[in-house]
Amino acid sequence: MSEKNYLTTDYTLKSWFLTTDHKRIAILYFASLIFFFFIGGAAATAIRIELATPQADLVSSDIYNRLFTMHGIIMVWFFLIPSIPNTLGNFIVPLMIGARDLAFPRLNLMSWYIFMLGGCTTLFAIFAGGVDTGWTFYTPFSTLYSNSYVIVAAAGVFIAGFSSILTGLNFIVTIHRLRAPGLTWYRLPLFLWSLYATSVILVLATPVLAITLILIATERFFGVGIFDPRIGGDPLLFQHLFWFYSHPAVYIMILPGMGVINELVSCYSRKQVFGYKFVAWASLAIAAVGFLVWGHHMFVSGQSLVASLVFSFMSFIVAVPSAIKVFNWTATLHKGSIHFDAPMLYALAFIGLFTIGGLTGLFLACLAFDVHATDTYFVVAHFHYIMVGGMVTAYFGGLHYWWPKMTGRHYSEYWARTAAVLIFFGFNLTFFPQFILGAEGMPRRYHVYPPEFQVWNVLSSGGAAILAVAYLMPLLYLGYSAFFGARASANPWNATGLEWQTSSPPPEFNFTTQPVVTRAPYQYNGDFQAEPQNA
Amino acid sequence: MTQWRPPLPLVGAWLGLLALLALTVTLAYVPLGTGNSVVALSIGTIKAGLVAAIFMELRHRSGLTLIFAGAGLFWLGILLWLGLMDFMTRT
Ligand code: HEM
Ligand SMILES: [Cu+2]
C-alpha cells in the first residue's frame, strides 16, 4: 500500500486509545459492541435452551430472572442504542458530509470512554450477583424487594446515557455546521436525516431516564417516598418517566436502521429514493410523535381509561410515518434494476421483518387486544421483529455495504449472501412461533410452562440455534477479509454519496481536497458494476 | 468563551429558587383543594423559567440554541401534561 490511510498512520496502542479520529473511534465502538453482543447473545442462548422443555431443567427461576434481565439490559443499552449511530454513524457521518471529522472530536473519544465505563459498571453488577428486575427496573420491585445489584446496574445505564447525549449533540452540531459546500438540507443523504432525528431524541429523552434512575437510587437509599405508595409515592410515576424515555428510545434504535435501508435500497436498485422529502420529514415526524405515545406500555398498569384511550389513539398516528417509509422503499424498488448483493438481501429482509413488527405494534396499540396480549410472547415477538429483525438486520446490511470503505477490502460475496439468507430464515423460525405462543396465552418471563406450548418453543429454540450460527458467520468471513480480502477501490458499488469519493480506506483527514456538492442525492442511472470479489 | 460576568445573577437566582421552594412547602400545608395543584404547578413553572433563563444562560443565547432548549422545555411540558392527565383522571 502506497499512501497512508487512517488504519496505517500509526500502529501503537496509544494511537488507538487516544485517537480523536472519528473513524478509529468507530472501530473502537465496533469492537466493544461485538463484545456486548456476545454477552447478550450468550444469555439469549441459555434462555432458549431452558425453554426447549416445559420443565426447569437448566436453571432455577432465580437464575432465569437474572438471565433475561442481563439479556435485556445488555442488548438494549449496550448494543441496540449505540449500534448504528456509534459505529456506522461515527464512521460515515463526517465522510458523507465531506468534513474532516465530527464537530467535537475529543468529545467523541470521551463518549466512548463514558460508554465503556457504563458498560463495565453494568457488567460488574451482572457478574457480581446479577439483577432480576427485568431491563425495565419497574418499581416498587426495584426499589423495595429486589435484593440484587439494581443500583449498580442502574448506575451503569445512567453513565452510558451521558455517552448517548454527547454523541447526539456531536451529530447535531456536525450536521448543522460542517456540511460541504453545496450540501443543502435537501441534498443530504437520508441516512443523515435519520441520524439527525435520532440525535434529537437522544438529547431530549435521555435526561429523563437519567433522572428516573437517580430517583430509584434516592428511594432505595434514603427511603424518600417517590414511587412507593406507603410513603406517599406513586408507583405509576416510575412507568410514566421510564417509558417517556423508553418509547422514544425504541426509535433511537430503529431510525438509524431505516436510514441505512434508504442507502441500500436506492444503491442496489439504481434508483433515486421515491419521495425523498417525505422520507426525510417522516424521520422527524417519528421523532416528534414518538414522544406522545409512551402510555401504550401502561394499558394494564392501572392508569386512567382516559389516558389509555389518548395513548392508544396517538400510537396509531406514530405508525403513519413508519408506513410512509415502507411504502417509499417499495416504490423505490418498483421497476428498479435490482442487484441482489449481500447488503441488498439484508435490506429486503429488513423491509419484510420491520413491516411485520410494525403491524403487530398496531395490534398492541388497540386497547382491547393489548389487554389480552400484554406480558405474553406476542409482545416479545413484536419487539424482536423490530429490534432484531429490523435493527440488527439493518446493522449487518450497513456493515456489509460500508465494509470495503472501512477496511479497503472485499468480503466473500458467496458467504455473505449465505449468511444473510440464513439469518432471515433462522430469525423467522425463532420469532414467528412466539406470535402464536403469545396469542395462545403463554406469558413472558416464565421458565416453566404447560406442555402444550412445547411444540412452538422447540421450533423457536431450533430457529435460535440457526440464527446463532448465522450471526457467527460474518465474524469469520468479515474477519478473514479484513486481512486477506481483495482490495476495494474508492467506489466499489458505483454509489453516490461523498463517502465514496475518497479512497478506501480513507486517509486520516478523510479528503485530500474539499469535495463540493452540485447534485441532489441518489442520482443513479442504472450503471452497476460491483468489483470482482474473492469467493 | 463568553466574557466574565459577576455571579450576582446566579446568587440572586439561587436565593429566588430557595424562596420559591419555601413558598411551595408552606402553601402545601394550606388547604386550597385543587388550588394546591394549581399553585404548586405555577410556582414550578416560575422555577423552571429561572433555571432556564439564568442557570442555562438562555437569556444570552439566540437562534438554534434557543430552539433546542425551547424544544426540551416543550417536551418536558408534554411529559407533565400527559402524565398529569392520567393522574387527574384516575378512578
Ligand atoms: C410502528 C409503530 C409501533 C407501534 C404502534 C407499537 C406499539 C407497541 C405497543 C402498544 C406495545 C406495548 C405492548 C405491551 O406491553 O402490551 C409495544 C411494545 C414494545 N415495542 Fe412497539 N410499537 C411500534 C414500533 C416499535 C419499534 C420501532 C420498536 C423498537 C425498535 C418497538 C419496540 C417495542 C418494545 C421493546 C416493546 C416492549 C417493551 C417491554 O414491555 O419490555 N416498537 N409496542
Ligand atoms: Cu412503545
Pick from A204, A304, A310: which is nearest to B75 by CB?
A204
pLDDT at B5: 64
Pick from A208, A236, A304: which is nearest to B89 by CB?
A304
Nearest-5° angle of CA A388, CA A390, CA A393? 75
Q: Using CA atoms, how far apart are residues A133 and A66, in angstroms rounded to an integer?
A: 8
Q: How far is the CA of A203 from the centre of ligand 2 (A)?
A: 18
Q: How far is the CA of A298 from the centre of ligand 2 (A)?
A: 10
Whether B87 and A234 lie within 8 Å, measured CB to CB: yes
The DSSP element (H or E) to which A153 belongs, if any, is helix A150-177
Whether A304 and B91 lie within 8 Å, measured CB to CB: yes
Cβ–Cβ under 8 Å, residues A58 and A464: no
pLDDT at A1: 46
Nearest CA in chain B to A293: B82
The DSSP element (H or E) to which A192 belongs, if any, is helix A190-222
In chain A, pLDDT over 70 holds for what percent of residues? 98
pLDDT at A415: 95
Residue nearest atom 41 in ligand 1 by C-alpha distance = A136
Determine whether the shortest distance from the Cβ of A389 to ligand 1 is under 6 A. no
What value does the CA radius of gyration of chain A take, rounded to a whole number of Å? 23
Q: Kindly provide the ipTM of the predicted complex, given to two decimals.
A: 0.81
Residues of chain A with pLDDT under 70: 1-2, 530, 532-535
Ordered mean pLDDT values, 10 residues apiece, chain B (91 residues): 72 93 90 85 90 86 84 88 88 76
pLDDT at B87: 86
Name every residue in B having a CB less than 8 A away from some CB of A. Answer: 64, 68, 71-72, 75, 78-79, 82-83, 85-91
Which ligand minimizes its atom distance to the CA of A293? 2
Q: How far is the CA of A293 from the centre of ligand 2 (A)?
A: 7
Which ligand minimizes its atom distance to the CA of A365? 1
Q: Is A530 exposed, middle or buried (0-12, 13-18, 19+ CB in 10 A)?
A: middle
Q: Using CA atoms, how far apart are residues A218 and A530, in angstroms rounded to an integer?
A: 58
Nearest CA in chain B to A169: B68
The residue among B68, B75, B76, B88 with the most chain A CBs within 10 A of its CB, best to mutate, is B75
A303: chain B residues, CB-CB within 8 Å: 86, 90
Place of cell 466499489: A492
- H helices, E strands: number in chain A: 17, 0
pLDDT at A535: 45
Chains A and B form CB pairs within 8 A to the count of 51
The CA–CA distances, whole Å, from A254 to A79, A329, A385 equal 12, 15, 11
Whether A306 and B78 lie within 8 Å, measured CB to CB: no
- The pTM is what? 0.91
